[in-house]
Amino acid sequence: MHETVNRCEEILAEWLRQAFQAAFGEVQDWSGIRVQPATDARFGDFQCNDAMQAAKTLRRPPRAVAEAVLAALPLPPMLTRAEVAGPGFINLTVAPEWLAEQVAVLSAAPRFGIPDAGQGRTVVIDYSSPNVAKPKHIGHIRSTVIGNALDRLHRALGYRVIADNHLGDWGTQFGLLIQGYRTFLTEAEREALTIEALERVYVQSYNRSKEDPAWLESCKSELVKLQQGDAENRAIWERFIAISRREFDRVYGRLDVAFDLTRGESYYNDMLPETIQVLQDKGLAVESEGALVVNLEDEGMPVCIVRKSDGGFNYAATDIATVRSRVAEFDPDRIIYVTDERQQLHFRQFFAVCAKLGYTTHLEPVWFGLMRLPEGTFSTRQGNVIKLESLLDEAERRALEIIKASNSEMPEDEQRELAAAIGIGAIKYTDLSHDPQTMIVFTWEKALALEGNSGPYLQYAYARVCSLLDKYAEQVPDRDPLTNALLLDEPVEKALALQLMRFPATVLRAAEVCKPSVLADYLFSLSQTYSSFYQRSPVLKADAAVRDSRIRLCAMVAPVLAEGLGLLGICTPRRI
């Protein structure tokens, strides 16, 4: 384990292991003894539940085991109380001085103790990955926001992250688009091609393909021409990509999202025949009704089609080729795919094919539920699409209104900058505070609420701590609050210190389970504890020693909030 991860729990568990050993000797290996935060602060700060298990081996009542353990060694100075409760829990209350020392170790560690868990190992994160020239609605934001948080979390933990935006730039939609582009647009529109025109063309062409077989055929033949390298279609395709990417980049800029690679599906096109050949050579892919498929009966799944009956390669073939290419180039430990829930079968299928090919890289789907507005879902073919960029505009507009009302004296450009930080933060936080595997009903009231579990609430909490720190700096100039002595005599001070101690383990856990919501929950509860600390314990008006100690706690809450929100991709303005 790392120095800073669950430091208190580790030290206490080590003492308990010795106590078990002293009480019962070598009858059992005690290295599995664990300590965890107390489920109820009234009974202590930490607890150990292992006496119950040990009682079975020792054939003694669990309470008697727990009591014998505590009787075996004198109470160490780090504890003020150790008690047996209920069926055999061991409850531990730590000494404020000892806790203060542990907090000091943490606050001196770089990035508040975030451990180097990755140790340079590589993770590829495939996220955002929108389809070119198809309209994007608010449901598409989740892959980008969740993926980017996972990206930041893994980097902070010392992984080498390859963030790859796997654009959908090579699908059947290009037949529809090219043919539609030629037919539905005027010359002037073609010349000054916009993303809106392109999206309109897609919808129109798609609808026509549903009722007009001849149209569908003509689109297909344009696609084949493109795939065979026809110069004119290729040039049109390149324009579509360029226009789409310009739009994506604008949104990524506003969301502060950056990729190491933007390799669309087209990048792997030349590798497809070889990939299929390998599958055939290994006897994995077989002909079935003209198509080439990999049988996944043993895995309990339908066959994975890797080449369609018309000879075209498909999405699965591309994804298998992509794994081969990523493994060869980056040798990753894990490849994480952040994609909506509707594609789960596709992922499970091609993961199974990769396993059959002998790939041991851990392939991990992080699927997420849709985000929608209360009035219903979005469909590109119904009129109620809320475009992604309008959502961002609306967020900033609403945030600006709130800022203007409360900060009328702030210069206009500062107000706008703040509005962007708060508006975009509110959208990201709404997304990230939910477990990815749930559906989100997005409402402005909740997203922009100043009270409750929202982005603005956390940003305000941070700004409030900063302003307190600033006032302290005026009162006590030239002193770094982090050098102040820490007294943790009040329960709420202790609670805050204990919560600060949990930061490194929380960051680690959020990355391990690929749930940024684990970190969001932590930050919210830290802000709540801070706010009850702040309400109950006057800081600047307290006696000097208490004041200095309390401001020191504040001086730790601030960087943890900033670091934590930063890992979620949310900015923390110092002044709001």
For the CB of residue 256, give the shortest distance to ligand ARG in the complex, in Å: 21
Using the rule CB under 6 A, which residue among 168, 504, 516, 559 binds ligand ARG?
A: 168
For the CB of residue 129, give the shortest distance to ligand ARG in the complex, in Å: 4
* Residue bearing tokens 């890992």: 567
Amino acid identity of residue 302, one-letter, is: P
Separation CA 401–CA 171 (nearest Å): 42
Segment 250 to 289, residues that bind ligand ARG, using CB under 6 A = none
Which two three-digit tokens encode residue 170?
Answer: 């090579």
- Of 7 and 136, which CB lies nearer to ligand ARG in the complex structure? 136
- Of 332 and 425, which CB lies nearer to ligand ARG in the complex structure? 332
For the CB of residue 372, give the shortest distance to ligand ARG in the complex, in Å: 16
Segment 121 to 160, residues that bind ligand ARG, using CB under 6 A = 126, 129-131
Residue 161's DSSP bridge partners are 123
For the CB of residue 137, give the shortest distance to ligand ARG in the complex, in Å: 12
166 is a site residue for ligand ARG (CB under 6 A): yes
For the CB of residue 349, give the shortest distance to ligand ARG in the complex, in Å: 11
- The helix/strand count (H/E) of the chain reads as 21, 13
| Chain CA centroid to CA 460, Å | 22
For the CB of residue 429, give the shortest distance to ligand ARG in the complex, in Å: 23
- 367: phi then psi, degrees, rounded to nearest 5: -95, 155
- Of 339 and 572, which CB lies nearer to ligand ARG in the complex structure? 339
Site string (68-107) toward ligand ARG, x via CB under 6 A? ----------------------------------------
- Of 23 and 391, which CB lies nearer to ligand ARG in the complex structure? 391
For the CB of residue 228, give the shortest distance to ligand ARG in the complex, in Å: 23
- Of 129 and 527, which CB lies nearer to ligand ARG in the complex structure? 129
For the CB of residue 164, give the shortest distance to ligand ARG in the complex, in Å: 8
State the angle between helix axes of 231-255 and 412-432 in degrees (0 to 180), rounded to the nearest 10. 100
- Of 332 and 481, which CB lies nearer to ligand ARG in the complex structure? 332
Q: What percent of the residues of the chain are helix, what percent strand, and what percent coil, each to the nearest 5?
A: 60, 10, 30
CB 420 within 8 A of CB 254: yes
Site string (312-351) toward ligand ARG, x via CB under 6 A? -------x--x--------------x-x------------
Separation CA 14–CA 137 (nearest Å): 53
Residue 122's DSSP bridge partners are 160
For the CB of residue 393, give the shortest distance to ligand ARG in the complex, in Å: 23
172 Cβ neighbours under 8 A, 6+ residues apart: 220, 223
Q: How many residues bind ligand ARG (CB under 6 A)?
A: 10
Q: Could you tell me whether strands 46-48 and 440-441 are parallel, antiparallel, or unpaired per DSSP bridges?
A: unpaired
| Chain CA centroid to CA 310, Å | 40
Q: Could you tell me whether strands 362-368 and 89-94 are parallel, antiparallel, or unpaired per DSSP bridges?
A: unpaired
- Of 20 and 347, which CB lies nearer to ligand ARG in the complex structure? 347
* Per-residue H/E/C for 284-305: CEEEECCEEEECCCCCCCCCEE
Distance (Å) of CA 480 to CA 473, 500, 548: 9, 19, 10
- Of 171 and 455, which CB lies nearer to ligand ARG in the complex structure? 171
> Which residue lies nearest ligand ARG, judged by its C-beta?
168
- Of 319 and 563, which CB lies nearer to ligand ARG in the complex structure? 319
Amino acid identity of residue 519, one-letter, is: L
For the CB of residue 318, give the shortest distance to ligand ARG in the complex, in Å: 8
- Of 21 and 173, which CB lies nearer to ligand ARG in the complex structure? 173
For the CB of residue 156, give the shortest distance to ligand ARG in the complex, in Å: 24
| Chain CA centroid to CA 114, Å | 16
What is 499-566 written as a DSSP string?
Answer: HHHTHHHHHHHHHHTT-HHHHHHHHHHHHHHHHHHHHHS-STTS-HHHHHHHHHHHHHHHHHHHHHHH
Separation CA 78–CA 488 (nearest Å): 13
Separation CA 175–CA 153 (nearest Å): 39
Which two three-digit tokens encode residue 479?
Answer: 């002193």
Q: How many Cβ atoms from other residues are within 10 Å of residue 485's Cβ?
A: 11
For the CB of residue 138, give the shortest distance to ligand ARG in the complex, in Å: 14
The alpha carbon torsion through 499, 500, 502, 504 (nearest 10 deg) reads 160
- Of 267 and 524, which CB lies nearer to ligand ARG in the complex structure? 267
- Of 47 and 322, which CB lies nearer to ligand ARG in the complex structure? 322
- Of 340 and 389, which CB lies nearer to ligand ARG in the complex structure? 340
For the CB of residue 346, give the shortest distance to ligand ARG in the complex, in Å: 7
Q: Could you tell me whether strands 334-340 and 362-368 are parallel, antiparallel, or unpaired per DSSP bridges?
A: parallel
Return residues touching ligand ARG (CB under 6 A).
126, 129-131, 166, 168, 319, 322, 337, 339
